Structure 1
Amino acid sequence: MGNLSGKVALVTGASRGIGRGIAERLARDGALVAVHYGSNEAAAKECVAAIAGAGGRALTVGAELGVPGDVDTLVGGLEAGLRAHGEAALDILVHNAGLNLMGRPIEVLTPEEFDEMVAVNVKAPFFLTQRLLPRLHDGGRIINISSVSTRIASAHGIGYPLTKGALEVFGHTLAKYLGPRNITVNSVVVGFTRTDMTADVLADPANLERNLALTALGRIGEIPDIADAVAFLASDDARWITGTKIDVTGGVNL
């Protein structure tokens, strides 16, 4: 992997799960990482402490996404945090935060629930990117965390994959627009991954067996599987990759 020393990264939704794994991996590669959280400040501080304990650098940025003024709050906190570390610009932007309302098929999904997912999964990344583009160094990286549900029809609901599909199109189109600045934009497609949010589902032997049977590599994904792929896209090794999505699912439903 390329060395990220001297780079500055923002990872949204980084207080736990995949986001935390990404933050820790980027910090391990040398980046100063802004660990964004929506409501769990304690978890974000724990992530920052873990990074510092491993010899890395990180700071917390709190802002609830999907509400009025979310981008203003996040950017204001980010700017203050970066100033405290003698930094003003950004090199890596990882849109990881997301909202998935499970078990909401089209017959029962309400306009309020739909708007909430769009606000967090599409609107927030769009306008956060808009605000941060002037601060993003030429040659920078934008990485969207997407879902295998954009490739496989989900029985759990239509709203979430719809928003993640929009995020992928956003990345594809933005890659063309930002090409002249040598900024790459890519999406990482995540499948069945072991996190605190999936623990209950995977604790059911029937669910576990079903997911294993659908995965070519025969196991459930782990957080480092995703974080390592993001670190690759953030590195100079991925300098010639843009406008695409990388399927990091172990071969789900091939």
Structure 2
Amino acid sequence: MIVKLVNFTEDAKNLLLFTKNTRLMHSGSSYRDITLWGEEKKQAELDYMLTTIKSSWEFIDYTFDIRGVSRAFTHQFVRTRTGSYAQQSMRTVNMEEFDYVTNDYFDGNPEAKKVYEDTMKHIAEKYAELVDMGVHEEDARGILPTNICTNIVAKFNLRTLHEMAKSRLSPRAQGEFREVFQEMVAEVLKVHRWAEPFLIPTEWAAPSMAKSLNPPTWEEELEKDIKEKKNNVQKREAGY
């Protein structure tokens, strides 16, 4: 899996501040005035923006080239409707030499991994057989696996990435999606370090994820269990 940021809004910080302050600034030099602000003032404004209306965030774009991921992942990925996508086609590309993603689960189950790999090999053989028989790629692709590797280019604005982070960085997210999104965030921070607070969630998208935001370590769980048992003993001794 490879994730690369291939394009982004260059003067993003100033543009973000400008679009946020448009309602309050009416002079023709508004954008230039903001570029002259000191970093301390800019940071204070960015901190404030984290808790206000997010419409101005939509002016900041990031385009990613994502390679060697599964179609199982991209099926979920493209459900984000405020993104733009261009994906490798299986309709016109011959997929006889396809690669596939093997999830971490199989590393701990050798027998299941063998069945998985044997099945992938069988599919590849039958796909090649169909193509050799004159079946068009667009028809032969019907037997290809969901975890076949694919490439996709995707563009999101800062607001969309912020919303995605609240679900796709969760421990409950599918492992591959979480890993890809972590790489996307890392790529953004290489060029826009100031954007980190916009991309690190302080809450999850669904209430069911909330308890996992800062999951306790096993030591903390053990300490909590010991305290509860001590409290119960003390209550019994006190006659509660």
Q: TM-score range by the shorter chain?
A: under 0.3
TM-score with structure 1 setting the length: 0.23
Higher strand proportion, which one? Answer: 1
- CA radius of gyration, larger in: 2
